[in-house]
Structure 1
Amino acid sequence: MPNPSCVIVWFRKDLRLSDNPALAKAGESGLPVLPLFILDEEGEGEWPDGAASRWWLHHSLARLGEQLESLGSRLILRRGSSWQVLSDLVESEAAVEVYWNRRYEPAIVDRDTEIKKRLADIGAQGRSFNGSLLHSPPQIANKSGSPFKVFTPFWKHLKPRSVRQLSDAPKTLEAPQKWPQSDPLEAFDLLPEIPWDEAFYDHWTPGEKGARERLSMFAKQGLARYDDQRDLPAEDGVSRLSPHLHFGEISPVQLWRELESDEAEPYLRQIVWREFAHHLLFHFPDTPSKPLRPEFEDFPWKKNQKALRAWKKGQTGYPIVDAGMRQLWTTGWMHNRVRMIASSFLVKHLLIPWQEGAAWFWDTLVDADLANNTMGWQWIGGCGADAAPYFRIFNPITQGQRFDSEGEYVRRWVPELAKLPNKYLFAPWEASEEELESANVTLGETYPRPIVGHAEGRQAALDAYQRMKEKKEEAS
């Protein structure tokens, strides 16, 4: 026999109990609450979670399940079509409402809209809430009623707007009289068979508790020096909250309300930058695969699988680029300044399409967020909203010298260069044979020679940009 009427809380990218609008409203219903997570890979459209994100998801779901059990509840896990799972549970458990927090990725918006309609057809109500952003994208527009395409006006528009009130975590949750069957977490096969994730455990603590601990540490030790140190990859100068935000283990509203101050403004701007990314993705849903600036569809990109593999493996011959790519592979994360340097190298020095870089980041980042990843790559490629001009080309040598002046970051991630003096650390090919030998470096053997010269790569990028401009002018 089915349970007496209950409500389903459908967890997605909101794997927390505190400040969870959908969970709070479900608790206020007075009915038993059935927490549910569905692994619906087909429902994610072209962007199911990459390998590093799947690792994080496994551990975050385990932590959420433990939290719910401490409240006398449990997390029901199912794999398959979101609609099929929901409709089966609505029928078998006599659920009258399904609560969830909205996601704003294009494929998810379409899917959820259809699910709401179909729930109504079977006598249940779908109720959704904004639990992932400061403000819902449809509610934000410029003075002409159009989407923002430049960050500074977007920031000025959002900064004075009040954010919603925080909702408390439930102290208890009324359980159904009988729990439906749940898949074991291990059946989701989220963890890798080959243990390439070993170092992840030293760097991350997925789950709401881990997010709170990270925020507390940043507020006490990192916030005051954030503006000065956020561009220095050797320093612990950033919050590292991005994967916690992506999986909804903490909300941007929690960060905003807990950190809001003049001192925190440089960091809060980054929260709004994240907001801007989601605003753009919502209004321009083709941008994960197509440039926002259409002229870049005719950009003369190159296909160079050998160079792409060298970039992925951190074997480009440019130490700051290689350090970042190795940090990414080892920890599932890369410092943001180095992300910009490494990304610029791929699309400008190598002329490899930004979509190739976005796909690699998607698979290897624990904070792989479709909106942030898309905007970041289009920004560096010069083809998105408020993007860096394409002709602005990062010099990987001077960037390393400027932001890793003592070489601590490079020496950590490219240890074969550890004995080189700072003078040559970011351009080891400039060292004499004697200096290389003294540092136990043999170019082409223990460390690669540059796969492209900086001046050569820069000029090729400028030439390609000029050809695109000329083609646009001919067409107009």
Structure 2
Amino acid sequence: MKKEKALVWFRRDLRDHDHAALSAALAGAEAVYCAFVFDWEILDALPDRHDRRVHFIRESLVELDAALRARGGGLIVRHGRATEEIPSLARQLGVSAVYANRDYEPSAKQRDAAVGQALLTDSIDFHTFKDQAFFAGDEVRTQAGHPFSVFTPYKNAWLKRLTAADCAEWPCRGEFTGADLAGVPTLSEIGFAATDLMQLGIRPGMSGARALWDDFRQERLEHYGERRDFPAVKGVSYLSVHLRFGTISIRELVRAALQAKDPTWLSELIWRDFYFMILDHSPQVVGSAFKPAYDAIAWDNWPTGLAAWQAGRTGYPLVDAAMRQLNHSGWMHNRLRMLVASFLSKDLGIDWRLGEQYFAAKLNDFDLSANNGGWQWAASTGCDAQPYFRIFNPVTQSERFDPAGKFIRRYVPELAKVPDKYIHAPWLMGRVEQEAIGIIIGRDYPAPIVDHAAARKKTLDRYAVVKPTA
């Protein structure tokens, strides 16, 4: 007979269904409390009080609270240091155990270790579960028992390990209890302000995730592989921010991906697990190259170049359009994330870590594992990275993935009148042609900040320090 009381600590899993920690608590306790902490350790590090991610979380919590109240419970929301608030709340409620889903970021692992130790002193158990990853890092290993560092063999082992049981939904049935339910604080009460989240059409919460998922699953999943690389085409899922904050379950997505005719989207979900695993087992990637030899690369200290890249003023239209999309919306198409990362590190010769930091500040869907993995992939410093000599050509990438310049014209409107012939390299227009359309390169739109061919040669020389081990 169930007699215990339990506390479920929500973090990046803001839903009331298919939730591993919640399922376990409901199955093992007669009364289950639910809590979320706006953690000072995280919020105080944010440079902008108008942060869409905090706004997204807050609105998602309102929906989660309503869903839990409809089931007899509700969400206890605290604002403070999680390492103090969770043990204090557990003591106050008299629970015998706290349940949470695992996080793989180094700071989160340190936080959870501190919380577990504090709970232990009060004889309160701390149970953690795999939920945000489909397979955790220890579940998919080489035959020798080591973590993988190359994606394709990892993917093959991931698929080989997969069973129907892994895809099963965690049932969340049982008795909830409400206590100290003051509701979710306003943004201003936690020191933040409203953003343009709604104006951008970003719908938070489980309902927002469901609407996007239904649209993608019904309309685009079967064509994902053929459409995903074209930023002017509605081809991707746009679910990344919902996966980041757990308003939808990874298991539900994997189940659908396994049934799709095209395996491409499943591969993208496996990449997500791969980067979780890398971060979990190699926390040194935060701030350092996965391949230590690449830390010997001498990057250029070029503040003007970095600022031009950040502002979308490099003179390369597709790079600039991508950066302006990021600055405007907090999101960037994945193909373009690879392009602009390659451009920063290999055309401008600027340390990839500066680009990683800029993305971390701007992306609504910022996830340390994927962001770090993607940047190290583009800079050729990471696990299974593109070879150092593979350098994206920003013009040919533009011609291939935005052939009509539709995406460019949307985000770089000063180029709207440029003929298709020149939209990817407008500096090739003659002066007479420029004057005829009222666009003077160097006045109305920047001339290229670097020559790609010359930059490519310089990059190959720069990476020569690690060629023998590449």
* TM-score category (smaller protein): over 0.9
1:147 & 1:99 partners in 2: Cα distance? 27
1:395 & 1:280 partners in 2: Cα distance? 28
Residue of structure 1 equivalent to 2:136: 136
Q: Which amino acid aligns with 1:179?
A: D
1:55 & 1:456 partners in 2: Cα distance? 44
Q: CA deviation at 1:199?
A: 6.3
TM-score (norm 1): 0.92
Residue pair 1:43, 1:111 contacting (<8 A) in 2 also:
no
Q: CA deviation at 1:114?
A: 3.3
Partner secondary structure for residue 284 of structure 2: coil
Q: CA deviation at 1:52?
A: 3.9
Q: Which amino acid aligns with 2:317?
A: P
2:466 & 2:139 partners in 1: Cα distance? 36
For residues 164-243 of structure 1, the aligned pairs below 5 Å read 164-170=167-173, 173-176=175-178, 178-179=179-180, 184-186=185-187, 187-191=189-193, 197-198=195-196, 201-243=199-241
Q: CA deviation at 1:34?
A: 1.7
1:138 & 1:231 partners in 2: Cα distance? 32
1:323 & 1:43 partners in 2: Cα distance? 31
Please tell me the root mean square deviation across aligned C-alpha atoms, in Å.
2.3
Instruction: Report whether the alignment pairs 1:260 with 2:261.
Output: no
Partner secondary structure for residue 88 of structure 1: helix
Residue of structure 2 equivalent to 1:72: 72
Q: CA deviation at 1:203?
A: 3.2
Q: CA deviation at 1:288?
A: 1.8
Instruction: Report whether the alignment pairs 1:118 with 2:121.
Output: no
1:329 & 1:63 partners in 2: Cα distance? 28
2:277 & 2:465 partners in 1: Cα distance? 31
For residues 6-405 of structure 1, the aligned pairs below 5 Å read 6-42=5-41, 51-160=51-160, 161-162=162-163, 163-170=166-173, 173-176=175-178, 178-179=179-180, 184-186=185-187, 187-191=189-193, 197-198=195-196, 201-405=199-403
For residues 393-472 of structure 1, the aligned pairs below 5 Å read 393-469=391-467
Q: CA deviation at 1:159?
A: 1.0
Q: CA deviation at 1:467?
A: 4.3
Q: CA deviation at 1:305?
A: 1.1
Residue pair 2:13, 2:246 contacting (<8 A) in 1 also:
yes
Kindly provide the CA deviation profile for residues 175-194 of structure 1, in whole angstroms up to 9, marking residues without a partner as x: 24x426667232223446xx
Q: Which amino acid aligns with 1:381?
A: A
Which has the larger displacement, 201-210 or 419-428? 201-210
Residue pair 1:97, 1:126 contacting (<8 A) in 2 also:
yes
Q: Which amino acid aligns with 1:64?
A: L
Q: Which amino acid aligns with 1:100?
A: A
2:69 & 2:227 partners in 1: Cα distance? 40
Q: Which amino acid aligns with 1:76?
A: I
Q: For structure 2, list consecutive stretches of 5 or more residues without a partner in the other structure.
A: none
Kindly provide the CA deviation profile for residues 235-257 of structure 1, in whole angstroms up to 9, marking residues without a partner as x: 01111111111111112111011
Distance 1:49 1:253, change over 3 A: farther
Q: Which amino acid aligns with 2:374?
A: G
Q: CA deviation at 1:127?
A: 1.2
Residue pair 1:53, 1:363 contacting (<8 A) in 2 also:
no
Q: Which amino acid aligns with 2:376?
A: Q
Q: Which amino acid aligns with 1:446?
A: D
Which has the larger displacement, 323-332 or 202-211? 202-211
Q: CA deviation at 1:5?
A: 6.5
Partner secondary structure for residue 202 of structure 1: coil
Partner secondary structure for residue 365 of structure 2: coil
Q: Which amino acid aligns with 1:20?
A: H
Q: Which amino acid aligns with 1:73?
A: G
2:361 & 2:207 partners in 1: Cα distance? 25
Q: CA deviation at 1:433?
A: 1.6
2:99 & 2:197 partners in 1: Cα distance? 36
Partner secondary structure for residue 384 of structure 1: coil
Residue pair 1:119, 1:126 contacting (<8 A) in 2 also:
yes
Which has the larger displacement, 254-263 or 221-230? 254-263
Q: For structure 1, list consecutive stretches of 5 or more residues without a partner in the other structure.
A: none
TM-score (norm 2): 0.93
Q: Which amino acid aligns with 2:149?
A: K
Q: CA deviation at 1:407?
A: 0.8
2:260 & 2:175 partners in 1: Cα distance? 38
Identity score, percent: 36
Residue pair 1:199, 1:330 contacting (<8 A) in 2 also:
no
* Residue correspondences, number: 463
Which has the larger displacement, 399-408 or 200-209? 200-209
